[in-house]
Amino acid sequence: MSIFEFTTDRLIELKATTFAAHGLKERGDLQRLLRDQIEVIDPDVLIVSEEFRDWEDSNRRIDLLGIDSDANLVVIELKRTEDGGHMELQALRYAAMVSKMTFDKVVEVFEDYLANLGRHDSARERLLNFLQWDTPNEDQFAQEVRIVLASAEFSKELTSAVLWLNEYELDIRCVRLRPFRDGNRIFLDVQQVIPLPEASEYFVNLRQKREVERQARRQDRQWTGLWFVNLGMDSADDLPVDTAGHGYIRHWQHCVKYGYIAAGGGRRYSDALKKLKLGDPILAYQRSRGYVGYGIVTKQATPIQDFQLPNGASLESTINPSELNEARTEDKWEYASGVDWRAHFDLSNAKTFKGIFANQNVVCKLSHPQTIRFVGEQFNIPADADNPL
């Protein structure tokens, strides 16, 4: 495709050119500029290293190494050649080499990169801020490696290989960087050609669906019967109560006092509680803190205005008026499942260890062996036929 200048009289075609014709080099020109403006080819990446080489018995170097906001490593390979060469094979080797990098290792690499640029801000803090994490989460860090190939053009062999690899759930993108000239000025046409932007979300959703199905099959084989329950964002100890003594529906101490667990704000959250059946053993988890409660489900999920307390009042009558279901549309209602809390701790005394299982879902099966052993000891969970710890 051509690029045209729009004038009042006619469309003037810009002349296609090549990087080599203007003496533009991969490393000295293209890589240097994209390093500082990586959003040109990927808007969701923080560059953590340039010319990365940290392995024995190999002189290979990754042009640019980044991380995206989902904590996936991103290998970026650049070529100024007209067909992309064999960069997909090269990038696959690099992806395999960095796939086991830990958070601390990336911080170390990032520190060296910033120092080489003459910057002395904290690599650790920049990385945490970019990921929007309070503390490192190794369970979610670098679970996948994405690949971005950027070249003036891609051969049919290369594009066929990339399309085939994407079918097998590798995330490889091809971004075409095509130079044009207008007199002494050089313009760059940047287009993602694989996958096409309008198809990107489809491929991401398909990959996520398959991964969820794989994890579900794996967990079903290993599941002990324990359920993980995420307390959500509104469970901090320092949340206030109003002058009438009303608490917040997902305040942890409120959950303990009245014997329940809650979720709402959308069907995807409240419907998750409906997975819990009478008699199910659950473990309550607070993000960035740890596990705080073990209990048995005594009442299945119900709207809080229908959740009756032992004194005959509804659970809704105990919460802050701003959270009343009557002020919300039905799909935003808060739901609660009754829980007999057998053991619990304040949030300030949450139980955790490095690498403990955590999940963003409201409810999911707990199958992580190390976590199961740990919570079993911390909460004195009995081992029996229904809950074989």
Q: Is the domain of 187 the same as that of 43? A: yes
Position 13 in a domain: yes
Instruction: Residue 54: give the domain boundaries.
Output: 4-213
Q: Is the domain of 172 the same as that of 227? A: no
User: What CATH number did the domain enclosing 69 receive?
Assistant: 3.40.1350.10
Distance CA 352, CA 203 (A): 35
* pLDDT value for 207: 61
Q: Closest Cα to residue 358, out of 232, 270, 269, 254?
A: 232
Mean pLDDT of the chain: 84
Q: Which tens digits make up the pLDDT trace of 130-155? A: 999 988 988 889 989 999 998 888 88
Q: Is 180 left (phi over 0), alpha (psi -120 to 50) or beta?
A: beta
Q: Is the domain of 238 the same as that of 209? A: no
Position 353 in a domain: yes
Q: Is the domain of 60 the same as that of 207? A: yes
What is the rounded average pLDDT of the residues 247-264?
90
Distance CA 232, CA 246 (A): 19
Q: Is the domain of 250 the same as that of 125? A: no
Q: Is the domain of 94 the same as that of 144? A: yes
Crossing angle between the packed helical segments 123-131 and 103-116, to the nearest 10 degrees = 120
Are 359 and 263 in contact by the 8 Å Cβ rule? The answer is no
Q: Is the domain of 176 the same as that of 248? A: no
Task: Please say whether the dihedral angle defined by the alpha carbons of residues 59, 62, 67 and 72, taken in this order, is positive or negative.
Answer: negative
What is the rounded average pLDDT of the residues 167-171?
83
Q: Is the domain of 124 the same as that of 262? A: no
Q: Is the domain of 199 the same as that of 237? A: no
- ∠ CA(340), CA(245), CA(291), 5° rounding? 35
Residues sharing a CB contact under 8 Å with residue 240, sequence separation 6 or more, in sequence order: none
Position 368 in a domain: yes
Position 384 in a domain: no
- Min mean pLDDT across 50-59, 193-202, 332-341 is at 193-202
Looking at the predicted structure, is the pLDDT value of residue 243 above 60?
no
User: What CATH number did the domain enclosing 327 receive?
Assistant: 3.10.590
Which amino acid does the sequence have at 155? S
What is the rounded average pLDDT of the residues 291-302?
96
Q: Closest Cα to residue 302, out of 247, 262, 331, 259?
A: 262
Looking at the predicted structure, is the pLDDT value of residue 198 above 50?
no
Looking at the predicted structure, is the pLDDT value of residue 385 above 50?
no
Distance CA 138, CA 119 (A): 26
Are 44 and 68 in contact by the 8 Å Cβ rule? The answer is yes
Are 337 and 297 in contact by the 8 Å Cβ rule? The answer is yes
Number of domains in the chain: 2
Show which of 164, 179, 213 is a domain's final residue.
213
What is the rounded average pLDDT of the residues 47-65?
83
